[in-house]
Amino acid sequence: MADDNEQTNMAESLLATPNLAGALESEQFRRFLDQIPMAIVVSQIKTPETIVYANPEFEKLFGQSVADISGQSWRVLRGVDQGNPAERTLGEAVTDLTEYVGTFKIDRPGGETVTVDAYSNVIEDDDGTPCYRLAALVDVSAHRQERQDELEQQVRERDTLLREVQHRVKNNLQMITALIRIEARNAQAGMDTAPFDRLAGRIESIQLLYSLLSDQDHSKELDLGVYLSKIAASVLGMHATDGIRLDLKVDACPVSVNVALPTGLVVNELLTNSFKHAFAGRDGGTIILHSLADEKHCRVIVADDGSGLPEGAVWPKRGKLSAAIVQTLRENAKASLDIASAPGRGMSVTISFSRELATAA
């Protein structure tokens, strides 16, 4: 279950001069941005600063076409800040602030209104010079309408929860931006699309987490079994192949977001690797995803009966993003990982952690 197609020396490429400008001109890179399940707008920071890209999710959410905003300043974006008495516009907030910049009311053509949370990040080159601004816009309309009565009765608790969610999405946006920069440096003509597929899967895992948080009540925890089931369904939808069977079994296990996110990213990568690589040259096989819990512990098992890692290969490979995610999981949940593999005998990864520590992280 090796990630054989991963671009080699990605860590070393971080030291190279970034080619984000070239990447944004690349049809391949734009197709990757088109897959991100939230509205994305990118501007080039120059004089004057103008918008150079918006994805299909933006068009669907705002009712503005890419042609309407391309080459324009951020002022072209509709939206009025719901928390600012001066009625700051969305365009002003995106350029004045970074990270979480506010909640905005958007008047769509036809009189329909939506509410979005807005986040903004500046992308710098290796010399520290700002070159691009990236804004992510998340539709929160349905969530706010469904909970209006509860907001009136429990406003303090709800405000606290929303601040926590906003903080988490801010951190996730930073992760997304970092991932984009890493992959953009390799966005050359004719390159393998596998890194972009892998990146899209990681972003989808983050989006699934955010959706679960938005659907919940006041709890600061989420059910790891439900989350991993959604990730499995997403990977299966992208990579399902005749002859490969997924054995899924999950128990209810509440964990904090700080444990759920790295666990989900690890599981997403392992499942994707199994579907794409473990059974090359074979008619099929079985992939296992079990998330098992008792009163004190939780164990997540991802395994396959495929070809296993090549002789001398290890997972996660030092210097790769997967190694950083695994380290985050070890630190946040005090988790232990047991990794077993042999050529021709499959691969198995078992993640174990205390339920008590997983909810407190």
Interval 91-149: pLDDT, tens:
888 888 777 788 888 888 877 888 888 888 887 766 777 888 888 888 877 655 555 55
Residue-level pLDDT at 351: 95
> Nearest-CA neighbor of 249 among 269, 268, 265, 232?
232
From residue 204, give the alpha-carbon distance in Å to each of 119, 199, 224, 285, 349.
17, 9, 16, 25, 22
Cα Rg, the chain, nearest whole Å: 21
Say yes or no to pLDDT of 63 above 60: yes
> Nearest-CA neighbor of 309 among 272, 277, 267?
277
Calculate what percentage of the chain has a pLDDT beyond 70: 70
> Which range is least confidently modeled, 187-191, 243-247, 297-301, 317-321?
187-191
Residue-level pLDDT at 249: 95
- Tokens matching residue 115: 């509410």
Say yes or no to pLDDT of 337 above 90: yes
Say yes or no to pLDDT of 330 above 70: yes
The CATH label, of 3.40.50.720, 3.30.565.10, 3.90.850.10, 3.60.20.10, for the domain at 220-360 is 3.30.565.10
In eight-state DSSP terms, residue 89 is B
Contact by Cβ (8 Å): 323, 10? no
> Residues spanned by CATH 3.30.565.10 within the chain?
220-360
pLDDT grade, residue 250 (50/70/90)?
very high
- Tokens matching residue 282: 């074979």
Residue-level pLDDT at 2: 33
Residue 304: burial class (beta carbons within 10 Å; 0-12, 13-18, 19+) = buried
pLDDT grade, residue 26 (50/70/90)?
low
Say yes or no to pLDDT of 188 above 70: no
- Tokens matching residue 347: 């691969």
pLDDT grade, residue 180 (50/70/90)?
low
The residue among 221 and 167 whose pLDDT is bigger is 221
* Single-letter residue type at 189: A
Residue-level pLDDT at 14: 23
What does the pLDDT average to over 47-67?
A: 88
pLDDT grade, residue 15 (50/70/90)?
very low
Contact by Cβ (8 Å): 347, 309? yes
User: How crowded is the C-beta side of 361, counted as CA atoms within 13 Å?
Assistant: 25
What does the pLDDT average to over 262-287?
A: 89
Which uninterrupted H or E stretch holds 135? strand 130-139
For 10-19, letters b (16+ CB in 10 Å) and e give beeeeeeebb
Say yes or no to pLDDT of 9 above 50: no
pLDDT grade, residue 350 (50/70/90)?
very high
pLDDT grade, residue 186 (50/70/90)?
low
Q: How far apart are alpha carbons 234 and 121 in whole angstroms?
A: 27
The residue among 281 and 155 whose pLDDT is bigger is 281
Say yes or no to pLDDT of 218 above 80: no
> Residues spanned by CATH 3.30.450.20 within the chain?
17-184
CATH topology of domain 17-184: Beta-Lactamase (3.30.450)
Q: How far apart are alpha carbons 101 and 119 in whole angstroms?
A: 5
Q: How far apart are alpha carbons 270 and 246 in whole angstroms?
A: 13
